[in-house]
Amino acid sequence: MSDRFVYLLGLALFTAAVAVASEPKPDRVWPLDSASSAQLRHKGGSPSQAVGVHGQSLVLSGKPFSLVVWFNPYNLDRGQQMIVAKNCYALNQREWGIMIDSDQKLRLYVQQGGWKTAQSDATLKPGTWHQVGLVVTDDKAELWLDGELAGAVELTQPIPQTNAPLTFGGVDDDGRIRQTWLGALDQAMLFHRPLAPSEMESLYKPVTATHPIPDYAEPFPIWDAASPLPVAAEIPTLKGVKFHVIKKWDREADGYTFLHGVGLGWHKNKLYASIGHNKGAENTVSEEAQYRVSEDQGQTWSELRVIDAGEEPDLAVSHGVFLAHAGKLWAFHGAYYGKMQKIHTRAYSLDEATGKWDPHGIVIRDGFWPMNQPEKMDDGNWIMPGISAGPYSNNKIFPAAVATSRGDDFTKWDYVEIPTGDGIDRMWGESANFVDGKRVFNIARYGGGASALVAVSEDYGRTWTPSRISNLPMATSKPVAGTLSTGQRYLICTTARNNGGKRTPLTIAVTAAGETVFQKVFVIRRSQHPGEPGESADSLSLSYPCAIEHDGQLYVGYSNNGGRRGNLNSAELAIIPIASLQ
């Protein structure tokens, strides 16, 4: 095995135990007792120390062998959490891994020309210590839990031997950190032989001490716990939804590759749809802010028109949002120099006499990129959700942010960064808001797991609680939220139990009228969409939604990559009868 190690979010590592004479002697011991241990390479999270089963702990959110590790989970309902693994998926280096899976079961994955699994049906409890063991012989791989055999995988071929590092608390997938652990780990021991059952039993001594669950590990209750969230296949599909294509992905005809970030706006009985469009790669200087107009509720669309093609040297202007107010249509677009440098927001207003967009220059700095249209608050100001962005990194924190206007002057905005809660070490905080009087809820994309992050302001967006992991599963994609004319709040993204980061199906979650906790979820559309406009595939991404209500309908724009890799998207439209959401 490689001597490279990765320690990720929520991991705890501990000092070595004193060996008992009857216990087998390990060939390697990783005490996991210090963030600065020479034995370990830390990557991806911010470790801290806590009491372990032996001394102190470090808290981070081929051949026959045996391995044992102590683990203490803090939150079971946050998708796949890897305890220990030897995989690098991106380089097709797949060997084995032990995780708490999306269904909260402890499971062993072993590569046998595909993944084969063994699991324990024991119920795990947050804050409690368990010992997991792996014994690999020539013909089987055994999963042990707390000194007892839980299951086994028959080996019909040798487990592949690769250069993937041995990692604790997640997987280093060629620089992208995946399946991160939230909790504590301790006392990892490796044996260069398969241990006998009696030896595995001798290594386990029950530990009654528990860890208090940190506040950041307690999920924010944005989903009604009394209404179990279904898996994707069991979510009902909305009836009466109409679909149209705003812009088909057609590189052969028009030369454009990247398309993303649909924005929608109604103005004087016309529906406007904007996109970020690029004949080069995503987030490069050739990006343009473009739009189309429909005069028949999205059935047909005008030719592509330009809001801003970035005429300044080295300037790119990309996707944004609309706001129609007082007889004027405004647009606010994310822009940057070079490749995602000096990110900011630019404002434009439509001159209907000429059909041109009047530029108002940079109106928000600090990396702010608007993600959903502004909403009027009771204090007379508007609030616009977004992200404080920079050059994309899977291992950094780019927090959610909002901008608040000064009344109806849309050329002056105050930037407010939303703090990031403890335990969140990676974040790409594209966010959405819904307003409840002076209280504002911000729902943001996470980077460390497929869950929505939630922050709350009690003073019209001026100050915020830290973004915190919620009890609502959500794909790692931009969400959209708002309040319907019925008084219901809604959230559109991909929300389903045990769905991980998949950006399909496209769903909408709703609350009861006047409430702030979601209790129902519906499918807007699935990957396969036979007989309807838009692209279909066995598995595709339906992502980056936007939404606007008009005349009893909720108009939802979204990207569809048609099963292609990356953001080689079509822009599509779903029109939902509001009555179907009650």
Residue 533's nearest CA partner among 559, 492, 572 is 572
Within the chain, which residue ranges are assigned CATH 2.120.10.10? 242-580
Percent of the chain with pLDDT over 70: 91
Residue 535's nearest CA partner among 236, 245, 239, 242 is 245
pLDDT band with cut points at 50, 70 and 90 for residue 22: low
Q: What is the Cα–Cα distance from 445 to 453, expressed in whole angstroms?
A: 6
Within the chain, which residue ranges are assigned CATH 2.60.120.200? 28-217
Average pLDDT for residues 467-471, to the nearest whole number?
94
- Do 371 and 390 meet the contact criterion of CB atoms below 8 Å apart? no
- Do 292 and 304 meet the contact criterion of CB atoms below 8 Å apart? yes
pLDDT digits (tens, 9 = 90+) for 277-336: 999 999 999 999 999 999 999 999 999 999 999 989 999 999 999 999 999 999 999 999
Q: What is the pLDDT of residue 5?
A: 38
DSSP string, 278-308: ESS-TTSTT-EEEEEEESSTTSS----EEEE
Neighbours of 118 (CB within 10 A): 21
8-state DSSP, 199: H
Q: What is the pLDDT of residue 57?
A: 47
Tokens of 543: 């992502």
Place of tokens 């904007």: 274
Neighbours of 328 (CB within 10 A): 13
The burial of 375, by beta-carbon neighbours within 10 Å (0-12 exposed, 13-18 middle, 19 or more buried), is given as middle
CA atoms within 13 A on the CB side of 231: 6
CA atoms within 13 A on the CB side of 572: 25
- Do 252 and 267 meet the contact criterion of CB atoms below 8 Å apart? no
Q: What is the Cα–Cα distance from 208 to 203, expressed in whole angstroms?
A: 16
Q: What is the Cα–Cα distance from 447 to 396, expressed in whole angstroms?
A: 9
Residue 63's nearest CA partner among 153, 136, 167, 163 is 136
The CA–CA distances, whole Å, from 193 to 62, 116, 134, 190, 511 equal 11, 22, 11, 9, 55
Residue partners of 354: CB distance under 8 A and separation at least 6: none
pLDDT digits (tens, 9 = 90+) for 352-409: 999 999 999 999 999 999 999 999 999 999 999 999 999 888 779 999 999 999 999 9
Tokens of 536: 């279909």
Place of tokens 């600065």: 36
Neighbours of 453 (CB within 10 A): 31
pLDDT band with cut points at 50, 70 and 90 for residue 21: very low
Average pLDDT for residues 93-112, to the nearest whole number?
95
89 three-class SS? helix
- Do 41 and 5 meet the contact criterion of CB atoms below 8 Å apart? yes
Class of the domain covering 242-580 = mainly beta
pLDDT band with cut points at 50, 70 and 90 for residue 37: low
DSSP string, 8-55: -TT---BPPPPPPTTSPPPSEEE----TT-TT----SS--EEEE-SSS
Q: What is the Cα–Cα distance from 232 to 236, expressed in whole angstroms?
A: 9
- Do 180 and 168 meet the contact criterion of CB atoms below 8 Å apart? no
Neighbours of 185 (CB within 10 A): 29
420 three-class SS? strand
* pLDDT exceeds 90 at position 14: no
* pLDDT exceeds 80 at position 2: no
Instruction: Provide the CATH number for the domain formed by 28-217 in this structure.
Output: 2.60.120.200
pLDDT digits (tens, 9 = 90+) for 116-135: 999 999 999 999 999 999 99
